[in-house]
C-alpha cells in the first residue's frame, strides 16, 4: 500500500505539470515574423561525438552562403558552448541553465548531435538534451522531408514534438516488481501540429495527409490524436485524409508498390521518431536527412542521427558524413526566409550525394573526409 500511495502522489505531480504546460500553450502568440526582426540571431551548438566535426563544416557553409547578410548585420552567427556530455555530466543537467539562457537569446539554433546516456553507461542518467530543448523552447513540430527522386517519393513528416511518451520519458515509476511509464496528449497540442501539417499541405498544393497512430490499442491518447486531427481536416476539405496504424505504415514504407502514394505524414512523437528514421534509411541512411524543430518563438535545426561515439573511439570522426546537418542548414535557410539560398544548397547537395558522385563519404577511411566533402560541395554550389 505504501507503494500505491507513492505512485499516486507521483502521478498527481505529473498531471499538475501537464496542466501547467497546457496553460502556457494557451498564452502563446503567433509565429515570429523573421522579416520584422532587425537582426536574425543564429546560435551554433557543436554538441559532442562527431558533432564538432560536422557542425564546423555546416558553419563554414552557412557563413559562405550568408556572407552578405552577415556583413550588413541582417544575420548574426554565434557559437554556444557547454552542451557537451562532459559538461552536462559534471553539472548533472541535461541542458545547463547558463547554456539555455544563451540559446533563448537566439532566434534559431543549428545544433549538432548530443549524447544521451543509457542504462549501463558511465554517465549520469540525464534526460535527452533534445527532449529538454524541445520542451523548454516549445518546439512542438518536428518536420523531416524525405525525397527519393527515382521512385517519385516526396514525403514530409510532421511529428508532434512535445507530448507522447517522450515528454514524460524521465517521469516513470520503478516500484520494485512493477515498472510504469507514461504518455500524454492534449487537445491544444494535437490541434496545433495538425493545423501546421494541413496548412503546409495546402500551401504546397499537396493532396493528401496520412495520420499515423495505434488508436486501436492505445485508445485514449492515440484515439484522441486521430479524432482531433480528423476534426481539423474539416477546415481543409480539398485535402484527402487517410489513417494507418503505425505497424502497417512501417510495412508500407518498404512496399515499393504503395509507398509512392504517401505525401504528408501526421503522427505522434514516438511513432514519428521511428518512421522518420526508417524513411531516412530508404533515402540512403540516417546521415542523409535533416530535421527542423519548429515553435512559435524559436526553431532548432539538426541532423537526425546521433553523436556516433564509436567513430570517435575508432579515430574516424574526420570521416563523418555532414549531409544530414547540411540538409538542416537548408531547412533553416528556408524557415528564416532565404528561399533561393536554401534551394541552391539543396540542389548542390543533391548533386554531390548522387550514387555516381566522384566524392563519397562512407564513414570509413575508404571514403572522403568531411573536409573533402565540404570542398567538393562548395565547388558545385
Domain boundary among 284, 312, 345: 284
Q: Which residues contact 98 (CB under 8 A, 6 or more apart)?
A: 82
Alpha helices by DSSP H, listed for the chain, are: 2-26, 51-65, 67-71, 85-91, 97-104, 129-136, 164-167, 187-203, 221-233, 246-253, 269-283, 309-313, 323-335, 339-352, 370-379
- Contact (CB, 8 A) for 79 and 143: no
Q: Is 5 part of a structural domain of the chain?
A: no
Is residue 111 helix, strand or coil? strand
| 196 and 260 fall within a common domain | yes
Does residue 1 register a pLDDT over 60?
no
| 200 and 299 fall within a common domain | no
The mean pLDDT value for 55-72 works out to 97
| 345 and 254 fall within a common domain | no
Residue 115's CATH number: 3.40.718.10
Domain boundary among 232, 254, 284: 284
Instruction: Please give the pLDDT value at position 121.
Output: 79
pLDDT confidence band for 327 (50 / 70 / 90): very high
| 198 and 125 fall within a common domain | no
Instruction: Please give the pLDDT value at position 131.
Output: 86
Does residue 50 register a pLDDT over 70?
yes
What's the pTM?
0.89
Does residue 345 register a pLDDT over 60?
yes
Q: Is 98 part of a structural domain of the chain?
A: yes
C-alpha cell at 143: 518536420
Nearest to 300 by CA among 99, 70, 142: 142
Domain that holds residue 218: 152-157+176-284
The number of domains in the chain is 2
Does residue 86 register a pLDDT over 90?
yes
Q: Which residues contact 354 (CB under 8 A, 6 or more apart)?
A: none
**Gyration radius from the chain CA atoms:** 21
Instruction: Please give the pLDDT value at position 141.
Output: 96
Q: Is 218 part of a structural domain of the chain?
A: yes
C-alpha cell at 253: 514504407
pLDDT confidence band for 269 (50 / 70 / 90): very high
Domain boundary among 284, 317, 333: 284
Residue 240's CATH number: 3.40.50.10750
Does residue 304 register a pLDDT over 90?
no
Q: Report in angstroms the alpha-carbon separations of 20 from 35, 221, 277.
A: 32, 18, 32
| 275 and 235 fall within a common domain | yes
* Spatial distance between the Cα atoms of 132 and 206, rounded to a whole number of angstroms: 32
Share of the chain above pLDDT 90, in %: 82
Instruction: Please give the pLDDT value at position 2.
Output: 62
pLDDT confidence band for 127 (50 / 70 / 90): confident
Share of the chain above pLDDT 70, in %: 99
What would the pLDDT profile of 140-162 be if each residue is shown by its tens digit?
999 999 999 889 999 999 999 99
| 43 and 62 fall within a common domain | yes
Angle between helix 339-352 and helix 51-65 axes, rounded to 10 deg = 130
| 89 and 121 fall within a common domain | yes
Is residue 82 helix, strand or coil? coil
The mean pLDDT value for 282-310 works out to 91
Q: Is 19 part of a structural domain of the chain?
A: no
pLDDT confidence band for 4 (50 / 70 / 90): confident
pLDDT confidence band for 7 (50 / 70 / 90): confident
| 320 and 227 fall within a common domain | no
When mean pLDDT is compared across 42-51, 80-89, 124-133, 228-237, the lowest value belongs to: 124-133
| 134 and 193 fall within a common domain | no
Instruction: Please give the pLDDT value at position 124.
Output: 81
pLDDT confidence band for 102 (50 / 70 / 90): very high
Tally of helices (H runs) and strands (E runs) in the chain: 15, 12
Amino acid at each position: 500500500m505504501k507503494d500505491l500511495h507513492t505512485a499516486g502522489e507521483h502521478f498527481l505531480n505529473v498531471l499538475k505539470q501537464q496542466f501547467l504546460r497546457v496553460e502556457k500553450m494557451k498564452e502563446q502568440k503567433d509565429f515570429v515574423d523573421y522579416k520584422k526582426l532587425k537582426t536574425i540571431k543564429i546560435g551554433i551548438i557543436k554538441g559532442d561525438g562527431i558533432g564538432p566535426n560536422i557542425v564546423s563544416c555546416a558553419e563554414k557553409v552557412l557563413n559562405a552562403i550568408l556572407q552578405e547578410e552577415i556583413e550588413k548585420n541582417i544575420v548574426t552567427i554565434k557559437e554556444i558552448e557547454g552542451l557537451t556530455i562532459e559538461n552536462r555530466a559534471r553539472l548533472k543537467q541535461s541542458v545547463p541553465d547558463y547554456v539555455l539562457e544563451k540559446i533563448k537569446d537566439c532566434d534559431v539554433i543549428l545544433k549538432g548531435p548530443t549524447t544521451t546516456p543509457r542504462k549501463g553507461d558511465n554517465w549520469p542518467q540525464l534526460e535527452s538534451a533534445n527532449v529538454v530543448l524541445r520542451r523548454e523552447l516549445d518546439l512542438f513540430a518536428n518536420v523531416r522531408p524525405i525525397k527519393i527522386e527515382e521512385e517519385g517519393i516526396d514525403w514530409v513528416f510532421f511529428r508532434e514534438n512535445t507530448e507522447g511518451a517522450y515528454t514524460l520519458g524521465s517521469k516513470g515509476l520503478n516500484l520494485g516488481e512493477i515498472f510504469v511509464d507514461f504518455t500524454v496528449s492534449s487537445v491544444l497540442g494535437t490541434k496545433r501540429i495538425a493545423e501546421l501539417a494541413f496548412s503546409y499541405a495546402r500551401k504546397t498544393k499537396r493532396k493528401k495527409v496520412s495520420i499515423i497512430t495505434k488508436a486501436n490499442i492505445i485508445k485514449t491518447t492515440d484515439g484522441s490524436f486521430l479524432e482531433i486531427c480528423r476534426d481539423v481536416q474539416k477546415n481543409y476539405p480539398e485535402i484527402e485524409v487517410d489513417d494507418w496504424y503505425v505497424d502497417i505504415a512501417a510495412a508500407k514504407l518498404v512496399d515499393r508498390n504503395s509507398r509512392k502514394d504517401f505525401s504528408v505524414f501526421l503522427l505522434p512523437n514516438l511513432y514519428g521518431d521511428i518512421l522518420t528514421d526508417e524513411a531516412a534509411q530508404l533515402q540512403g541512411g540516417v546521415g542523409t536527412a535533416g530535421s527542423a524543430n519548429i515553435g512559435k518563438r524559436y526553431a532548432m535545426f539538426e541532423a537526425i542521427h546521433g553523436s556516433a561515439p564509436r567513430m570517435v573511439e575508432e579515430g574516424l570522426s574526420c570521416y563523418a558524413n555532414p549531409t544530414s546537418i547540411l540538409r538542416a542548414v537548408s531547412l533553416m535557410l528556408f524557415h528564416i526566409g532565404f528561399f533561393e539560398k536554401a534551394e541552391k544548397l539543396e540542389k548542390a547537395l543533391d548533386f554531390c550525394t548522387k550514387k555516381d558522385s566522384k566524392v563519397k563519404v562512407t564513414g570509413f577511411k575508404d571514403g572522403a573526409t568531411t573536409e573533402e566533402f565540404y570542398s567538393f560541395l562548395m565547388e558545385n554550389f
